[in-house]
């Protein structure tokens, strides 16, 4: 296997200090066809992953791959498979499947890695690569850094002969792998779990859930009305799914449905609409599921893990039941890390990423929906009845353009005003001040019972930040 990193004069050319980070907290993501989401780079990523996996194995590495419904997914998946094969690995394609579906297959086969070609809730022009370890967790940082190094060095990783499966082989494998995941979901709650008598509307976002979600819930006996389940390669997330729930809310009411479910493009998140057409986000879902698990002695340590963006109303509601909320940085990666370190059994985000670490180390919109149905059936109540007790406090988000990201602690006027606001909010509000990780912005998030008061607080603080750090 060749590892070529030389220029025309046979001099090594690589400056690590100039290397950009390709993998974020949610894998690689960008515009399809542009670096790093071009065929050449993705081929290198596939080769690099297979190469580094081989260093720890005495056999060919096995990688399972799947994609959402974007038109670019087909050629990006093919480029990745070519790269894996050229580096001496084997690749099985599940075709169009959800991100948590690949996480499950990686663990269940087991494979040495799982790869999803998806940009989640982004528009169709974007795409991405997400890699899972055999545990179902996202790929470790060390291997990600090794892949990034290979990409920026232009490393050639390959073998002399390459044999790539034909399309019929891929389709046969894909059908079998998708059926394996569907069977797991059908029994994940309990054997013979039934949804007979329930009428549900599923918004599949024209994405990865378009086929499997209706099949799953029909198999369990529900009356299913599926919408936005006809992907054409370009309509994924387009005015539908978890980012655009208006049409789902109207349809639930029109159909007299018991529940509406909105998935995102890769179905690792789900948001809900109750029978009255009211929207229920990830915080509301965590509230319902926490109470259900606690009542069945399945909420470890009485603890729920969420992020700094979860509404303070959730924290207050949980406290009223003797339960605790533990906050992390934004990102399901951080939620999972805390779940594993604390031993908690439930965590998630406002966006609808909910994780049950006992079942899956990836957020799975289908599993979340199944467990919500279990809470509804066991409690004999409607969703709007189960959300009682959770009062969503008004929340304001303000972005301020800045010229530099100096620590807020260097500005006494900002610190003084922040302390005054926090004192005024007391236990019935919350203030979060941070910088954007990708843009020259300071972000204020403030919550409290009185909308007018928190708007006034946010305005005063924003004015002070502009005076001290504003871009002019």
The answer to whether residue 120 is catalytic is yes
Which pLDDT does position 38 carry in this prediction? 97
Question: Tokens for 396?
Answer: 């304001």
Reported residue count of the chain is: 472
For the segment 34-91, what is each residue's pLDDT rounded down to a tens digit?
A: 999 999 999 999 999 999 999 999 999 999 999 999 999 999 999 999 999 999 999 9
pLDDT of residue 26: 80
> What is the model's pLDDT at position 226?
98
Burial label for 310, CB within 10 Å (0-12, 13-18, 19+), is buried
What's residue 159's pLDDT?
A: 53
Q: How many angstroms separate the Cα of 438 from the Cα of each of 24, 228, 399, 453?
A: 11, 32, 13, 30
The total of other beta-carbon atoms located within 10 Å of residue 134's CB is 15
Give the mean pLDDT of the chain. Answer: 91
Q: Is the pLDDT confidence value at 158 over 90?
A: no
CA dihedral over 183, 185, 186, 187, signed as positive or negative: positive
Helix (H, G, I), strand (E, B) or coil at 102: helix
pLDDT digits (tens, 9 = 90+) for 124-153: 999 999 999 999 888 888 999 999 999 998
Residue 471: predicted pLDDT: 78
- Residue 3 pLDDT: 36
Long-range contacts for 181-184 (Cβ within 8 Å, ≥24 apart)? Answer: 181/94, 181/97, 181/98, 181/101, 181/104, 181/105, 181/212, 182/212, 182/215, 182/216, 182/219, 184/104, 184/108
Q: Is the pLDDT of residue 8 over 80?
A: no
Q: What percent of the chain has pLDDT over 90?
A: 84
Edge-to-edge strand order for the sheet containing 303-307? 324-328, 303-307, 347-348, 354-355
pLDDT tens digits along 397-449: 999 999 999 999 999 999 999 999 999 999 889 999 999 877 899 999 999 99
Give the pLDDT band (50/70/90) at residue 167. Answer: low
Q: What distance separates the 2 farthest-apart alpha carbons in the chain?
A: 75
Domains and CATH numbers, the chain: 16-174 (3.40.120.10), 188-386 (3.40.120.10), 395-469 (3.30.310.50)
Rounded to the nearest 5 percent, the helix, strand and coil shares of the chain are 40, 20, 40
The pLDDT value recorded for residue 25 is 77
DSSP calls for 143-205: HHHHHHHHHHHT-----S------HHHHHHHHHHHHHHHHHHHHHSS-TT---TT-EEEEE-T
What residues contact 351, with CB distance under 8 A and at least 6 apart?
242, 269, 271, 281, 282
**Taking a C-beta distance cutoff of 8 angstroms, is the pair 390, 317 a contact?**
yes
* Ramachandran assignment for 376, one of left (phi > 0), alpha (psi -120 to 50 degrees), beta (any other): alpha
Distance between CA atoms of residues 312 and 302, nearest Å: 17
What's the DSSP call for residue 207?
A: T
Tokens of 347: 């965590």
Give the Cα separation of 139 and 145 in Å (integer): 10
Q: Which position among 47, 72, 93, 120 bears the catalytic label? A: 120
Q: Is 89 helix (H, G, I), strand (E, B) or coil?
A: coil
Cα 65 from Cα 67, distance rounded (Å): 7
Q: DSSP 3-state assignment of 236?
A: coil
Q: According to the model, what pLDDT value does residue 347 have? A: 98
């Amino acid at each position: 296997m060749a590892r070529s990193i030389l220029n025309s004069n046979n001099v090594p050319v690589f400056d690590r200090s100039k290397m950009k980070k390709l993998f974020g907290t949610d894998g690689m993501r960008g515009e399809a066809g542009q670096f790093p989401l071009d065929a050449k780079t993705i081929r290198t990523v596939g080769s690099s992953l297979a190469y580094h996996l081989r260093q720890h194995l005495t056999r060919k590495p096995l990688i399972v791959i799947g994609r959402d419904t974007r038109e670019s997914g087909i050629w990006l998946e093919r480029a990745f498979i070519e790269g894996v094969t050229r580096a001496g690995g084997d690749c099985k394609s599940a075709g169009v499947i959800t991100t948590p579906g690949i996480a499950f297959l990686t663990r269940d086969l087991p494979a040495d890695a799982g790869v999803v070609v998806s940009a989640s809730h982004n528009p169709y022009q974007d795409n991405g690569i997400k890699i899972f370890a055999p545990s179902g967790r996202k790929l470790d940082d060390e291997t990600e850094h090794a892949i990034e190094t290979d990409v920026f060095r232009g490393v050639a990783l390959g073998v002399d002969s390459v044999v790539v499966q034909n399309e019929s082989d891929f389709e046969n494998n894909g059908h079998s792998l998708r059926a394996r995941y569907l069977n797991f979901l059908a029994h994940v709650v309990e054997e013979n779990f039934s949804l007979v008598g329930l009428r549900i509307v599923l918004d599949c976002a024209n994405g990865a859930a378009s086929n499997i979600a209706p099949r799953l819930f029909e198999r369990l006996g529900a009356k299913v009305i599926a919408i936005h389940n006809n992907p054409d390669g370009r309509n994924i997330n387009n005015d539908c799914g978890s980012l655009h729930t208006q049409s789902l809310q109207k349809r639930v009411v029109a159909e007299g449905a018991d529940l509406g479910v909105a998935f995102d493009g890769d179905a690792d998140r789900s948001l809900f609409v109750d029978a009255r057409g009211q929207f229920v986000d990830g915080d509301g879902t965590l509230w319902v599921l926490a109470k259900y698990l606690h009542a069945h002695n399945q909420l470890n340590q009485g603890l729920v893990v969420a992020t700094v963006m979860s509404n303070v109303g959730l924290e207050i509601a949980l406290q009223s039941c003797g339960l605790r909320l533990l906050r992390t940085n934004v990102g399901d990666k951080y939620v999972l890390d805390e779940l594993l370190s604390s031993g908690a059994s439930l965590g998630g985000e406002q966006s609808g990423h909910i994780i049950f670490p006992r079942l899956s180390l990836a957020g799975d919109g289908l599993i979340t929906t199944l467990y919500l149905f279990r809470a509804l059936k066991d409690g004999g109540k409607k969703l709007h009845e189960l959300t009682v007790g959770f009062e969503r406090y008004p929340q304001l988000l303000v972005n301020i353009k800045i010229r530099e990201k100096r620590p807020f602690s260097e500005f006494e006027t900002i610190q003084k005003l922040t302390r005054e606001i926090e004192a005024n909010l007391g236990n019935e509000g919350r203030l979060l001040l941070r910088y954007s990780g990708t843009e020259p912005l300071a972000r204020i998030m403030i919550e409290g019972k009185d909308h007018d008061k928190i708007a006034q607080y946010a305005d005063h603080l924003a004015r002070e930040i502009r005076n001290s750090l504003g871009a002019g």
